[in-house]
Amino acid sequence: MMDKTYTHSPFRGQIHCPAPVTPFSPKGELMTDAYGEVLRYYLDVVRADTMLIAGDNGEGYALSDDELRQVTETAAKTIAGRVPFYVNVTRTSNRRCIERAEIAAAAGAPGIGLCQPPIYDASADKIVERYAQVAKAVPLRMMVYNLPLISHFNIDAGVLRSICDVAPVDVVKDAPPDMDHITTMLAEMGGRFPFLYGQRLTMIPALLLGSGGFVGTGPEMFGADCRKFLDIHDMTPAERFDLHYRYGLVNQALLHTVGKPPAGLKAALNMIGLPAGVPRDHVSALTPAEEDELRAILIRVGILEERVARTG
């Protein structure tokens, strides 16, 4: 495991930051007891170092203000200070981001996650101003979530440096799968705080380059073996390739080929015995055929068989 300290972050080495799902019933009701059980899985089995609450996998976009409060309160009670966590407060307008951040802070969140606005006329000045306004109104520690595919603007090292001048940034969830971008970000800002990657083709290469860790869809399916991703520096090339290949199959299925996210992740978690529920409108749950396809992939990579053997 790589040991590393950061100049502007309390984290150390390479870390895992999952984005837990938020369980909903088939009627669309928030299931807080089930949510607590899911979070305990991330704490006790996956052994996460931090978490992004109400992120995309957590369907934060589908949570009302009161539901965001309930989710945050459940996270604060369940996690109970064992690891820090960040609550995604992203909305289109800065005003709504501030309102969501205020809700999260009042409900016990130690930190917030914030993304660029999903608009077509974003600029560096507008994005930096967004972080400045939210940080001034709610001065919690912050995760910068760079998601250019949806927001139509990429936060590069120069923009990130300006954000750091106005907001207390701890960690960056950096979604672009471009290795040129990843290399530049690590070279220019990687000593300041952890940069987290999770795309199927870039996660392990980024870890080998010294990224701050990973946040992605699928590592949690490996259960206790999830921590092996942080041991890749000590693996043989064959062991490293095997992990890269198996994770790639899972990540590709959950994000791209089996249903629409987060339907696949919820179905997979249900298959290993967690009460992940179903997605909320307008994302459809997997069909029986899609569930069969996903189950076959989990068996192929050894996840489902291992879980059945452990709990049977």
Asked if residue 62 lies in contact with residue 282, where contact means CB atoms within 8 angstroms, the answer is no
Residue the block writes with tokens 């995309």: 56
Q: With bands split at pLDDT 50, 70 and 90, how would you rate the model's confidence at 166?
A: very high
- pLDDT for 204-250, tens place per residue? 999 999 999 999 899 999 999 999 999 999 999 999 999 999 999 99
**Residue 129 included in any domain:** yes
Instruction: Label residue 309 exposed, middle or buried (CB < 10 Å: 0-12, 13-18, 19+).
Output: exposed
Q: Is the pLDDT of residue 251 over 90?
A: yes
What CA–CA distance (Å, rounded) separates 82 from 284? 34
In whole angstroms, give the CA distance from residue 267 to residue 230. 26
Residue 312: its pLDDT value, please?
Answer: 38
pLDDT in tens, 173-190: 999 999 999 999 999 999
* 301 phi/psi in degrees, rounded to 5: -90, 0
Examine residue 277 and state whether it is found in any structural domain, yes or no. no
Task: Identify which of 114, 175, 174, 172 has the alpha carbon closest to the alpha carbon of residue 139.
Answer: 114
8 A C-beta contact, residue 224 and residue 246: no
For residue 307, the model assigns a pLDDT of 45
Contact 253, 7 (CB under 8 A): no
pLDDT grade for 120, boundaries at 50, 70 and 90: confident
Based on the structure, what is the number of domains in the chain? Answer: 1
Asked if residue 311 has pLDDT above 70, the reply is no
Residue 147's domain is classified under what CATH number? 3.20.20.70
What is residue 250's predicted lDDT score, i.e. its pLDDT? 98
Classify residue 246: in a domain, yes or no.
no
**pLDDT of 310 above 70:** no
Read off the pLDDT of residues 68-94 as tens digits, 9 standing for 90 and up.
999 999 999 999 999 999 999 999 999
Quick check: 281 pLDDT over 50? yes
- 29: in domain: yes
Question: DSSP readout, 2-22?
Answer: ---B-SS-S-BSSEE------
Q: Is residue 309 predicted with pLDDT exceeding 60?
A: no
Percent of the chain clearing pLDDT 70 (strictly above): 98
Look at residue 96 and tell me if it is in a domain: yes
pLDDT at 200 over 60: yes
Q: How many CB atoms lie within 10 A of CB 259?
A: 24
Q: Which of 240, 237, 249, 156 lies closest to 200 in space, CA to CA?
A: 249
Cα-trace Rg, the chain: 18
Q: Is residue 302 part of a domain?
A: no
- pLDDT category, 25, cuts 50, 70, 90? very high
Identify the domain containing residue 188 by its residue range.
15-229
How many Å apart are CA 159 and CA 100, to the nearest integer? 24
DSSP one-letter string for 137-176: HS--EEEEEE-HHHHS----HHHHHHHHTTS-EEEEEE--
Q: How many helices (H) and strands (E) does the chain have?
A: 12, 8
234 located within any domain? no
pLDDT confidence band for 171 (50 / 70 / 90): very high
Q: Residue 119: its pLDDT value, please?
A: 85
Query: Which of these, 48, 95, 49, 88, lies nearest to 71 by C-alpha position?
Result: 88
33 located within any domain: yes
Q: Is residue 66 exposed (0-12), middle (13-18) or buried (19+ Cβ within 10 Å)? A: exposed
The pLDDT tens digits for 225-235 are 999 999 999 99
Mean model confidence pLDDT for the chain:
95
The pLDDT of residue 305: 78
Helices 288-300 and 237-252, interaxial angle, to 10°? 170
Per-residue pLDDT at 306 exceeds 70: no
